[in-house]
């Protein structure tokens, strides 16, 4: 199957799942693919990315809200970051909710802080939807501009489009795998921590 056909059949599905799991490079790939004509940036690339991002943030929000403060005792590495975000959340609720997902190192702590705050679920879902659209639009357009820049710099972009697209896609997969590995590693360390100082 040709690369173009593969993207046309599975590109939007990849964007949804990629955006569900730390998918900034995936959205760059989506924007680049839209520039090459394999996908449609507006509305489908942006919509697919926004759906994945929205669902992922909602899952975190309701999961943390169900567990409560216990999540911080099980993951002490998050506690300091959450405390910093909470201080800003009290003063700048809307900007924090809209902007925190753009910061890979702080995004999880930001969602935890929001979930543990007094914000209503309905208000969060509305702001989360708006933030997801902004996020998907920003990185989708950035990927589209990347394709345009490559075309300006290299001229006959058709010669390079497949290596570039595959590099972006592979980068996205590596990015997601790395962040999932870090989460699993931290979970293992957090689970072991309560037993670390106990006599055997």
pLDDT for 51: 95
Interatomic CA distance for residues 195 and 185, integer angstroms? 16
**Phi/psi of residue 81, nearest 5 degrees:** -65, -40
Interatomic CA distance for residues 123 and 10, integer angstroms? 33
Residue 128: how many CB atoms within 10 A of its CB? 24
Tell me the two tokens of residue 142: 């950035």
pLDDT for 171: 66
pLDDT for 30: 87
pLDDT beneath 70: ranges in the chain: 1-7, 21-22, 151-166, 168-200
Q: Are 50 and 43 in contact (CB under 8 A)?
A: no
pLDDT for 180: 57
Give SS3 for 37.
Answer: coil
pTM for the full predicted model: 0.76
pLDDT for 26: 83
pLDDT for 29: 82
pLDDT for 116: 93
pLDDT for 28: 85
pLDDT for 81: 86
Q: Spell out a b/e string for 105-118, using b for 16 or more CB atoms within 10 Å of the CB, else e.
A: ebbbbbbbbbbbbe
């Amino acid at each position: 199957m040709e690369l173009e056909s593969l993207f046309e059949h599975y590109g939007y599905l990849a964007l949804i799942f990629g955006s569900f799991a730390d998918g900034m490079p995936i959205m760059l790939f989506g924007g680049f693919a839209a520039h090459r004509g394999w996908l449609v940036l507006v509305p489908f690339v942006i919509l697919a990315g926004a759906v994945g991002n929205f669902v992922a943030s909602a899952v975190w929000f309701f999961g943390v809200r169900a567990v409560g403060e216990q999540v911080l005792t099980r993951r002490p590495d998050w506690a300091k970051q959450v405390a910093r975000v909470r201080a800003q959340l009290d003063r700048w609720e809307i900007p924090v909710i809209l902007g925190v997902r753009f910061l890979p190192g702080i995004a999880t702590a930001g969602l935890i802080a929001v979930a543990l705050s007094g914000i209503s679920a309905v208000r969060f879902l509305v702001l989360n939807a708006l933030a997801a659209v902004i996020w998907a639009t920003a990185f989708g357009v950035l990927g589209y501009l990347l394709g345009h820049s490559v075309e300006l710099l290299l001229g006959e972009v058709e010669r390079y489009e497949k290596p570039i697209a595959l590099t972006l896609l592979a980068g996205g997969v590596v990015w997601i795998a790395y962040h999932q590995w870090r989460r699993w590693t931290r979970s293992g360390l957090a689970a072991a921590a309560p037993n670390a100082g106990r006599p055997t």
